[in-house]
């Protein structure tokens, strides 16, 4: 299995913290968000390559980080060639860029670099092995209005099979929201090119999942624990406060 970690955003909502530092390398407690992810990835079997997709602005930051780490993983930093928020490729565009540049033809785990979670990544991986199918990270929400405006929302049937999925629908269709963690089977990875060739959105991973589940089974892993989406200064400060208190 290959891993793609998406780090090519410019995190403008976190300025000035991210003017010269990529969001993934911001510290949570004493450890960067990216290092927390790497610690979890090290626990997985059969992960033989981690690709960190970034932009030209922050490429040297990640190269410096990679040269200093001592993880038992093959880590490659990929520059997608963009230099501004306006010219970014989008999440799905960056995934396909990495697939083509690295000649990836394997099952792929995709992670966004701004989620901190308290469950074990190995539990998610074991769920994927059990289902032997595409899987996404999901959770039930109490505030359905907030869910409908900020997350991809899935309708889930028996055995957690996805029946429908809409990216930020703006209306209440379910209580199940999706986070930015996916494992895609090889055949589904190949379909990303088809999805883009049809003229679909290059951004928001949920748009691809909404398209994919109509072609092959996608299952929702409902985790137990917490997941923080570090998109704003308020959430970043909340997470750091949590670490300080524990």
Examine the pLDDT at 246 and tell me if it is beyond 80. Answer: no
Question: Which two tokens mark 29?
Answer: 């407690």
In a domain, 205, yes or no: yes
Report the CATH number that the domain containing residue 132 is assigned in CATH. 3.90.550.10
In a domain, 155, yes or no: no
Residue 25 is given by DSSP the state G
Stated as kind and residue range, the H or E segment containing 207 is helix 205-212
Stated as kind and residue range, the H or E segment containing 13 is none
Mean pLDDT of the chain: 91
**Which residue has tokens 């989406």?**
229
Examine the pLDDT at 136 and tell me if it is beyond 90. Answer: yes
In a domain, 32, yes or no: yes
What digits encode the pLDDT tens for the residues 192-228? 999 999 999 998 888 999 999 999 999 999 988 788 8
Cis peptide before 141 (omega within 30 of 0): no
What digits encode the pLDDT tens for the residues 32-81? 999 999 999 999 988 889 999 999 999 999 999 999 988 989 999 999 99
Of 2, 8, 29, the closest CA to residue 202 belongs to 8
CA dist list (Å): 40 to 71, 183, 231, 236: 11, 15, 21, 20
pTM of the model: 0.93
Examine the pLDDT at 176 and tell me if it is beyond 90. Answer: yes
- For the chain, give the longest Cα–Cα distance: 49
Residues of the domain holding 78: 2-136+180-222
Comparing 219 with 240, which gets the higher pLDDT?
Answer: 219
């Amino acid at each position: 299995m290959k891993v793609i970690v998406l780090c090519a955003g410019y995190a403008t909502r976190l300025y000035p913290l991210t003017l010269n530092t990529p969001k993934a390398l911001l510290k949570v407690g004493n450890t960067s968000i990216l290092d927390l992810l790497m610690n979890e990835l090290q626990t997985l079997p059969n992960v033989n390559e981690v690709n960190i997709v970034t932009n030209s602005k922050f490429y040297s930051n990640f190269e410096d980080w990679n040269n200093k780490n001592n993880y038992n993983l093959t880590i490659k930093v990929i520059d997608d060639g963009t230099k501004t928020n306006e010219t970014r490729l989008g999440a799905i565009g960056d995934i396909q860029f990495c697939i083509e540049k690295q000649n990836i033809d394997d099952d792929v785990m995709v992670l966004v670099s701004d989620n901190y979670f308290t469950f074990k990544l190995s539990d998610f991986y074991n769920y994927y092995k059990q289902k032997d199918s595409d899987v996404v990270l999901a959770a039930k929400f109490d505030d359905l209005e907030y869910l409908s405006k900020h997350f991809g929302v899935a309708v889930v049937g028996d055995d957690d099979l996805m029946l429908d999925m809409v990216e930020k629908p703006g209306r209440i269709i379910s209580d199940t929201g999706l986070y930015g963690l996916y494992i895609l089977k090889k055949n589904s990875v190949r379909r990303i090119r088809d999805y883009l060739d049809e003229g679909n959105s290059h951004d928001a991973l949920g748009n691809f999942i909404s398209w994919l589940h109509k072609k092959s089974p996608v299952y929702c892993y409902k985790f137990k624990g917490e997941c923080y989406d570090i998109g704003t200064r308020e959430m970043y400060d909340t997470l750091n406060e949590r670490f300080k208190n524990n």
